[in-house]
Structure 1
Amino acid sequence: MAKLFRGNSFGGGLPSKEVFRENLSPGNDHLLHRSLSAENGLKSDEDLFEDAAETLMHPDAHEEGGLAMNNRALLEQQRGAIFELIRDMGKQLLTGHINLVNMSMPVKMFESRSYLEKLSDVWVHSRILTKAAACKDPVMRLKWLITWFVAGLQHVFQSWRKPFNPILGETWQATLDDGATVFLEQISHHPPVSAFQMIGPGNAYEFAGYSQPEVQYKGNAVKTTARGKRRVKFADGTVVEITYPKYYLRGILYTSRPRGDIGGQARFVDAQHGLCCEVNFGKVPDTADHLLQRPDAFSGSIFRYRTDPSPASNSPAKKELKSRKSLSGLASAFHSVLSSSSVHQPQHEFYRAEEVASCSGNWLSHMDWEGQRYWTLAEDNADRWHPSSMPLPSDSRFREDLQCLLEEAPNWQTAQAAKEKLETEQRADAKLRKEASRRTAA
């Protein structure tokens, strides 16, 4: 059993996992506060409450790090679908005909959402981003921006099902309670690229970019590299470029409890003010803190940087330029638009000149800057997306295969047939576009 709590300054018991999970949903912060206070003989002492809540981890925290998949029924269904896929591949191997590109994944593995909607799961802490937008000090603004980013990571593994791959031209739009709006569109079929734009209340900020996920299978794990370009632009013109870490699903076939984890590094660059922050995910070295010794811990620092007078051959700018060659035309054009909107985008290697702030924490419990708590899971303020009541005809909710799964008693065969029909049509359209492009070039 995972050790979910590091300590209790009250000497009494913290709420059970069931109570915490029920009260963790948005809008129930006061219920969690009340349950903590009642069990420990408190009424309204906020300082003592924070002392206890700050050590509270996510109820599904895995003892080996990351989030555990504790839904046994769903796990059995997912693994059954995987073995079904392997069986179908075996049949094709026997006949000598196999095409992995055209192979359709079993619809039983899917959730009733498109990847466009899933992409926005981690952006539900917009109130924290609004705090960042209100800061005039660039360092403080960057602190809150990174806090917003870390707070959303718990939602990466919100659903253990696979979302539907968006069809070219597919869209999704929604709003949060604070007035933030998001617009997403699938702008490339191969490679799959999803563009997005999130606008804060009162145009306080704009979060925009594109996502080009790259999935690699190795043994008993899946690694997702969140390629693409993402940046936050504030009302005063400041732009912060964001590079995402890597996501892992471990133990997907051979363990009783698969888990989702985050590794690698996230980078945040405010080129206008010469600031950069690098957040490294994994155990924090040289610490006695139990939560920081876990694989789901992180640490990082904000530093002022200088640049080398001449670009280096292995500079981040040149590496990124090289990666753009694999993008589709639309994705590359979108990349150029985002780049041109940046202010004084650095084109050289980074050299640390001065460290101005440091952070540490655990993405399943809390985040500190210089020992001061900026975010705790127990006092989480996550919002929920409300899909547009007047969606475009291209909205993902109109997909026939997705609608089949929304029925009270899903018809898996009908959903599978509808999904394969859409995939066939998309491949045919892609072939026509390719042929038209060749004729135009000739």
Structure 2
Amino acid sequence: MDSKSIMYLPSQQISEGEILVKGKTLGRWKTKKFLIDEEQRVFALKSSQAKKKQKPFYLEYYKLEIREKKKDKISFDLISKAGGKSVTLGLQNEQQANAIINLLQKLIMKEDSIQKQQLEEQQQKLLNEQTIANSHQWAFEKIDYEIPCFFDTSEIRENIHQIRKGQQKLEHFQMVYQQQTCQIYKNVENHHHFMSFIEYEGNCCETIIQNLTDNNKINQWNPFVSQNESKLIKELVEDKSFQICEIRQLTNLFVFKREFQYLRHHLKIDNIDFIVQKQIDQRPKTKLNQGSLKYGLWSVQYKNNITKVCYVTEQSILGLSYPDEDSYLTQVFLQQISNVNQASILKTQIQNVENPQTNIIITHEKSKEVIHQLEQQNLEKQEINIQNKVVQENNKQNKEEDDQFFDCEEQDAIDEMNDKLFIVETVANKQLIQDDVVKDVYEQNARRQSILPLQIDTQDNNIQDWVEKKMKQVLQGGYCSLSINVKHQLCPKESGQQRQFLTEQEGGHYIFRKDFIREEKNGGLKVINEEKLAAQKAVIKFLITRIGASLLMGKSITGISMPVTIFEARSNTERVCSSMGFAPIYLEDAAQSSDIYYRIKQCAAFQFGFIFMYISCEKPFNPILGETFQGFYDSCPIYCEQISHHPPICAIQMYGRSYKIDGQLELVANFHSNSVVGRNVGTFKITFENPHQEVLLTFAPGSLNGTTYGDKVLNYLEKQFIIDFKNKIILETTFNPEKKYCQFFDVEYINQLDYLCGAICDVSDSAILRYQKEGYRKYKGLDLKQDIKQVRHKIKGIWINEVKVDNQKLISIQNDYPIKLQLAQYPIPSDATFRMDLLWWKLKNFDQSQQWKEKLEILQRQDRKLREQKTKKKK
């Protein structure tokens, strides 16, 4: 080791060199560079990878032990006093090894003398001060007790001091919960900081201490702590502390189980029991996400026939959308502890009356009072059960079949659900929340959440009021809990109402709006909305400005965000769901028939309806990974989730009457000099009941010509298919077919770009096998000479107008209307309707919308990098 000393900074000496480090897995020694900062008393190992940071070992938390002396090397350990990571080091040169060992031992021993000196200086300073009542610092009495150095932090000592004096300072706290003898306060300046106070009649200190320190009983104390998974990892004999791995189950759709690792120490001062908890930096024991417990301090004392319990903590569940929601879940956790089983404490007291070894004595009259309290609580529970039964009966009368729930228990689903909570700031939106803000959404709706007749939200005529309502629901907190408690519908309901059809949009035809007309000469949809055309032309100027600014600032142009002025007020998740309005009309009719060919005809009508409804001359907002959308068509629920960001893939489910739709679509766009081709690459699987039948649908790509010059005209290209594997049936539809193709099926040929033709055919085994081999990405269609056994039904038409089967109308854009999509009233907060960039767009505030869009895109890119890094580590 070529050790050398460098004057790194004034009065800060750094020693560096090379040392052997023993690996934990195979036990192999590896040479690494190290630094010893004598001023800061830090020993650090340099990583071999330049991008990684140094791994520091703060010597105040470690002790040194000689491991073994052999001819080839001398090894020694740095062992954590707080249950953290330890490291085994070694050197071959005995003289150099002794020098390093002596230096480390000197720095470790130096810590004790420094601490004593600091304590003496602090005590002397406190004695010289007459008063600090108006100071921002806390007053300390003379420290007359010992606490392990790991727990000796200013926060813990300050709170112990306050509890001993009985003067908890609450000027920066507000009460967030109160019930009988329990209060919970939250620090208004730090949403992670809480104080809880509980009182019990009689002396039940021993029972409470047992519940807090015995791992088998703490699960009875708090139902959120998992009994089978939480465990004591090890006992630190040196300071009589215990390392705990605590698993909390919050019964929350977005925050499932969380692992908390901390050290726990029990001490007694002035007849007050203190239980100290503090988080440790330790490798996770499970695959769960990690929560944060900066510190926790329990105090239990008996005085004037009252057992007083105080819990001061700074902790976080982590993984949530915004501070208020994280604070709310922490509050719920503390509330469970506070409500804990006052009945169980009372029962313990009654049991101890009959136990002569107990120190708790309860009189006969007192036991009667306790029993009366328990009976009263049982009566209240019975009343609640009766009320719940009444609600269930009402739900049955209203035909509310809400028995199914979401299942997101897998770890990957947990990660994705955590990613859904993308609304991260509230400062920019405070102008929407007036001084007379309505009461919390949770309080408003808690009474009716179990008896909702329909979970449908309708946009008010005043879009500003609707947007403000959506913003308030998220920003005020509590809404997350409400949406979780609502039983999300997974089965279709009998609507009992007349169907609501979508007949127009934006003052025009429900598909064409005021944006398109048919191009009579060649066929297709011509864009005629001059306002939208002008906005799209302005994109070039916008991009040139952004590119120039990025180059001048030395930034990459890959992060340039498209202007929101060319977007529509929908995310692609909503746009896909909005395109399925023909499903209840055609697929429900198909489900009532047992004719497999008739079902395929109706599936074709739905297939055409989907591509018609998807048409728009504006771009949808790109979905965020984990974004969802919930809605209803004629009381049939539809759900969509963005399950991949790159490539962008969304998953769709719809539960119809006697049928079900499952699909995955990847939105792909190919840009050319004067056109863009977009397609939904993927399939829809439609499953019918009674009799069972499964069919697979693919969709044709769309082309928009004239993106640079000339008229903008939209058309569909190539082919789309419907395939029944079991019955060996394929429906092939070709857009803008060749004349020979039409002649093969004996269908008239029309030289128009929007003309289509095809047929429902019985096919050979080889045709089915070829599709299964090539998949929907590569499959090009039927071999007309070899694959077709029999042509069953012929299809033709101008898709902009009408499509026919065997010269009979199948679907007409002019005369057939889809069902109107209704939004879910209580969607989960990852729903696309809660996106701030979309909400601002609806208010026509494009500057705010642009800012939020760019902010979310930055978060998306950062999230992608983290996922890629994690994937590389797994490999």
Question: TM-score, with normalisation over the residues of structure 2?
Answer: 0.38
Distance 1:373 1:69 in 2: 27
Residues 303-340 of structure 1: per-residue CA shift (max 9 Å, x gap) = 111123996xxx332333998xxxxxxxxxxxxxxxxx
Distance 1:175 1:292 in 2: 39
Tell me the equivalent position of 2:706: 251
Shift of 1:406: 1.3
Amino acid at match of 1:198: M
Tell me the equivalent position of 2:280: none
Tell me the equivalent position of 1:142: 600
Tell me the equivalent position of 2:572: 115
Q: 2:846 aligns with which of 412, 428, 431?
A: 412
Shift of 1:208: 1.2
Q: 2:536 aligns with which of 70, 78, 93?
A: 78
Tell me the equivalent position of 2:619: 162
Tell me the equivalent position of 2:795: 359
Tell me the equivalent position of 2:517: 60
Distance 2:684 2:646 in 1: 20
Does structure 2 conserve the Cα–Cα contact (< 8 Å) formed by 1:291 and 1:362? no
Q: 2:633 aligns with which of 161, 168, 176?
A: 176
Q: Secondary structure at the match of 1:105?
A: coil
Amino acid at match of 2:688: F
Does structure 1 conserve the Cα–Cα contact (< 8 Å) formed by 2:532 and 2:566? no
Does structure 2 conserve the Cα–Cα contact (< 8 Å) formed by 1:284 and 1:299? no
Does structure 2 conserve the Cα–Cα contact (< 8 Å) formed by 1:182 and 1:198? yes
Distance 1:181 1:90 in 2: 47
Amino acid at match of 1:393: P
Distance 1:124 1:350 in 2: 37
Distance 2:642 2:791 in 1: 39
Distance 1:309 1:79 in 2: 46
Q: 2:687 aligns with which of 212, 225, 233?
A: 233
Residues 113-169 of structure 1: per-residue CA shift (max 9 Å, x gap) = 100011123311120121222221111111111022123432232x32211111111
Does structure 1 conserve the Cα–Cα contact (< 8 Å) formed by 2:607 and 2:697? no
Shift of the 71–207 alpha-carbon distance from structure 1 to 2, 3 Å rule, reads same
Tell me the equivalent position of 2:697: 242
Distance 2:767 2:702 in 1: 35
Tell me the equivalent position of 1:188: 644
Tell me the equivalent position of 1:320: 775
RMSD of aligned Cα (Å) = 2.9
Moved more, 68-77 or 372-381: 372-381
Q: 2:819 aligns with which of 383, 391, 394?
A: 383
Tell me the equivalent position of 1:374: 810
Equivalent residues in 2 for 1:299-310, closer than 5 Å? 299-308=757-766
Amino acid at match of 1:420: E
Distance 1:83 1:291 in 2: 44
Tell me the equivalent position of 2:832: 396
Distance 1:376 1:284 in 2: 23
Shift of 1:375: 2.2
Tell me the equivalent position of 1:436: 870
Shift of the 94–419 alpha-carbon distance from structure 1 to 2, 3 Å rule, reads same
Does structure 2 conserve the Cα–Cα contact (< 8 Å) formed by 1:283 and 1:296? no
Where in structure 1 are there 5+ consecutive unaligned residues?
A: 1-24, 30-57, 324-348
Does structure 2 conserve the Cα–Cα contact (< 8 Å) formed by 1:284 and 1:297? no
Q: 2:655 aligns with which of 187, 190, 199?
A: 199
Tell me the equivalent position of 2:662: 208
Shift of the 322–302 alpha-carbon distance from structure 1 to 2, 3 Å rule, reads closer
Tell me the equivalent position of 1:20: none
Shift of 1:439: 2.7
Moved more, 280-289 or 391-400: 280-289
Distance 2:661 2:768 in 1: 31
Does structure 1 conserve the Cα–Cα contact (< 8 Å) formed by 2:503 and 2:817? no
Amino acid at match of 1:279: T
Does structure 1 conserve the Cα–Cα contact (< 8 Å) formed by 2:628 and 2:639? yes
Shift of the 385–27 alpha-carbon distance from structure 1 to 2, 3 Å rule, reads closer
Tell me the equivalent position of 1:222: 676
Identity %: 27
Shift of the 436–292 alpha-carbon distance from structure 1 to 2, 3 Å rule, reads same
Distance 1:208 1:154 in 2: 20
Distance 1:199 1:278 in 2: 26
Does structure 2 conserve the Cα–Cα contact (< 8 Å) formed by 1:112 and 1:406? yes
Moved more, 370-379 or 217-226: 370-379
Shift of the 174–132 alpha-carbon distance from structure 1 to 2, 3 Å rule, reads same
Tell me the equivalent position of 1:340: none
Shift of the 171–59 alpha-carbon distance from structure 1 to 2, 3 Å rule, reads closer
Does structure 1 conserve the Cα–Cα contact (< 8 Å) formed by 2:677 and 2:702? yes
Q: Secondary structure at the match of 1:124?
A: coil
Residues 332-376 of structure 1: per-residue CA shift (max 9 Å, x gap) = xxxxxxxxxxxxxxxxx9821111111111111112111122222
Amino acid at match of 1:365: N
Distance 1:320 1:352 in 2: 19
Does residue 268 of structure 1 match 2:722?
A: yes
Distance 2:676 2:771 in 1: 26
Amino acid at match of 1:214: V
Does structure 2 conserve the Cα–Cα contact (< 8 Å) formed by 1:230 and 1:242? yes
Shift of the 280–138 alpha-carbon distance from structure 1 to 2, 3 Å rule, reads same
Does structure 1 conserve the Cα–Cα contact (< 8 Å) formed by 2:630 and 2:824? yes
Distance 2:809 2:777 in 1: 40
Q: Secondary structure at the match of 2:560?
A: coil
Distance 1:208 1:309 in 2: 24
Distance 2:840 2:588 in 1: 38
Does structure 2 conserve the Cα–Cα contact (< 8 Å) formed by 1:245 and 1:262? yes
Q: Secondary structure at the match of 2:708?
A: coil
Tell me the equivalent position of 1:336: none
Shift of 1:175: 0.8
Does structure 2 conserve the Cα–Cα contact (< 8 Å) formed by 1:151 and 1:363? no
Distance 2:839 2:591 in 1: 38
Distance 1:241 1:98 in 2: 42
Does structure 2 conserve the Cα–Cα contact (< 8 Å) formed by 1:307 and 1:350? no
Q: Higher relative contact order at CA 8 Å, sep ≥6: structure 1 or structure 2?
A: 1
Amino acid at match of 1:83: K
Distance 1:350 1:193 in 2: 35
Shift of 1:291: 9.7
Shift of the 220–293 alpha-carbon distance from structure 1 to 2, 3 Å rule, reads same
Q: Secondary structure at the match of 2:707?
A: coil
Amino acid at match of 1:112: A
Shift of 1:83: 3.1
Where in structure 2 are there 5+ consecutive unaligned residues?
A: 1-499, 505-514, 779-784
Amino acid at match of 1:75: L
Tell me the equivalent position of 2:346: none
Residues 254-299 of structure 1: per-residue CA shift (max 9 Å, x gap) = 12x4121101100110112111110001156369999943211110
Number of residues paired by the alignment? 353
Does residue 151 of structure 1 match 2:605?
A: no
Tell me the equivalent position of 1:423: 857
Amino acid at match of 1:368: K
Shift of 1:103: 2.2
Does structure 2 conserve the Cα–Cα contact (< 8 Å) formed by 1:205 and 1:234? yes
